Amino acid sequence: MSGLIPADLNPVLRFCRENGCSFLEDEPLSGHTSFHIGGPARLFLQPDRTDTLTGLIGLLGREKLPWVVLGNGSNILAGDEGFSGVVVHIGAEFSGICLEEEGQIRCRAGTSLAALSRFAAGHSLTGLEFSCGIPGSVGGAVYMNAGAYGGEISQRLVSVTQLTVPTEGEPFLEELPAGELELGYRHSRYQSPDCRDIILEALFCLEPGEREVSLAQMEHLLKSRRDKQPLEYPSAGSAFKRPEGSYASLLIDQCGLKGLTVGGAQISEKHAGFIVNRGGATCADVLELIGQVQQRVLQETGFRLEPEVRLLKG
């Protein structure tokens, strides 16, 4: 992409300079995703305050510039051509945890799930141990209704504070109860193509527990992940959603697809549910590999596999 600044980006760059919002031009998305794949974003913005984010999103709307939100990038496959619009990064600047009354924890969207689960255990609260090894942020976890080892974010989520971004008019802060978020298996209302709202905070309700018991459980789960998952290679976690009546990794393994390789992308030899970047993998490699796996599994088992990874391109 060109390093020249198009005229329609000037108002955004001026806003960033005036409000102390960090920005990078033509920033490779490969450096912001756990897959280590992706071309450049035309503009990569890193606001550090809610009021800056609110003003920024309002400005992007008025200027009619395409934009997407990126969190920890742990469930993202970014396109080789990058993103020709604006990527708004909700990162460490939007992290923070506080303990509220009656076992409730309020957590900002940029906080890692590892930090949240350890905070809960440290305050003798139980219910989020399952999330200790999920390599994502709280915002991304709510977006995906992330889960592992039989637990899901929806089981403990009370409400979400979001930046509501209407089709017409200015964005505003709003709190929504979990019951209005359409939470299902790896799904929430935020995945709807019509939804542009941004998760800022989440409120969780936990139960009294024992600190040492929770920490021991978390260490057991982390060891299980280290032993069974290909953490030595970049990936985006589980490549496919669990189909009703089976498991993606089981089906892929049954079809003899472990080790199947396209370019630098490979079905992990350690865990068939993962696609890993063995070095130099492109988005095109991963998409081709996904397609081959879907076709083979459908032909040989009758199950349709749906990708869990989210594609960022445009």
Q: Give the Cα separation of 261 and 50 in Å (integer).
A: 43
> Of 50, 3, 47, whose CA–CA distance to 25 is shortest?
3
308 in active site: yes
238 in active site: yes
| Residues 192, 185 contacting (CB under 8 angstroms) | no
186 in active site: yes
| Residues 208, 125 contacting (CB under 8 angstroms) | yes
> Of 66, 52, 55, whose CA–CA distance to 20 is shortest?
52
- Please name the residues in contact with 263: beta carbons below 8 A apart, sequence gap of 6 or more: 280, 281, 282, 284, 285, 288
Q: Kindly state the tokens that stand for 57.
A: 């999103």
Residue 290 phi, psi (nearest 5):
-60, -45
Residue 7 phi, psi (nearest 5):
-55, -35
Residue with tokens 């999330």: 131
Q: Give the Cα separation of 246 and 232 in Å (integer).
A: 27
Residue 68 phi, psi (nearest 5):
-140, 160
Q: Give the Cα separation of 122 and 215 in Å (integer).
A: 8
Residue in 131, 238, 249, 268 annotated catalytic: 238
Check residue 131 and report its DSSP letter.
G
| Residues 39, 45 contacting (CB under 8 angstroms) | no
Residue in 156, 186, 196, 242 annotated catalytic: 186
> Of 102, 95, 83, 97, whose CA–CA distance to 32 is shortest?
83
Residue in 81, 93, 182, 308 annotated catalytic: 308
Q: In what order do the strands lie in the sheet with 172-177?
A: 97-99, 104-108, 198-205, 157-164, 172-177
Q: Give the Cα separation of 97 and 193 in Å (integer).
A: 30
What is the set of active-site residues?
A: 186, 238, 308
